[in-house]
Amino acid sequence: MFASLKDPLKPVLYTCKILDDGPTPRFEIVCEDEEDAVVGGNSPAECHNQILQTINLSLDMDLLTVKTEGTDSDERGCRFFGLTHPSVQNVLQACPGARKCSRYKWIKFEVCRSEAEVESVFEGDKEASLCHEALLRNIRFARHHVTSP
């Protein structure tokens, strides 16, 4: 769930896909209220950045920072796609042929012992580029400071 491309104040469901595009994967995102507008790219970060740019345009302000290169951008894109979630990682590693992915960094999974450990996995998702509630707070703050004397 994230901000609608049409109306960023409204939360909508996004479907993130990874498609076979020959030697490299193709990443795509479809917004629930813009199903004809597929956001595609060569990486999760590229797709996520396009979403952020569209939302900035819709809001008519540069509220969301678009990071075009580096690990921050890559990390945010992977988080948006759900690729950093332990359940998703576990499923991906269990797929037939997963061992053929030579650049994949294998993860050893451990049983979480406390609710705090589970919460720490999702802590990074509370930033405005990933969390609709955080985005709404930033929009309200920005609009208040732009309109206040």
Give the C-alpha separation, 47 to 45, whole Å. 5
CA 42 to chain centre: 14
pLDDT, position 142: 87
Quote the domain boundaries for residue 69.
2-74+83-147
CA dihedral 66, 41, 93, 121 (to 10 degrees): 20
8 Å CB contact between 36 and 87: no
Q: Which candidate, 76, 78, 100, 80, places its Cα nearest to that of 20?
A: 100
> Burial, 25: exposed, middle or buried (Cβ in 10 Å; 0-12, 13-18, 19+)?
middle
Neighbours of 29 (CB within 10 A): 24
Name the pTM for this structure. Answer: 0.81
Neighbours of 70 (CB within 10 A): 9
8 Å CB contact between 16 and 82: yes
Kindly calculate the radius of gyration of the chain based on its CA atoms and give it in whole angstroms. 17
- State mean pLDDT over 84-112: 81
Q: Which candidate, 11, 6, 10, 54, places its Cα nearest to that of 34?
A: 6
pLDDT, position 124: 54
The number of folded domains in the chain is 1
- Summarised one tens digit per residue, pLDDT across range 114-142 is 666 555 555 555 788 999 999 999 898 88
pLDDT, position 113: 63
pLDDT, position 102: 76
Residue 50, amino acid: Q
What CATH number is associated with residue 27? Answer: 3.30.160.360
Q: Is the per-residue pLDDT at 22 higher than 70? A: yes
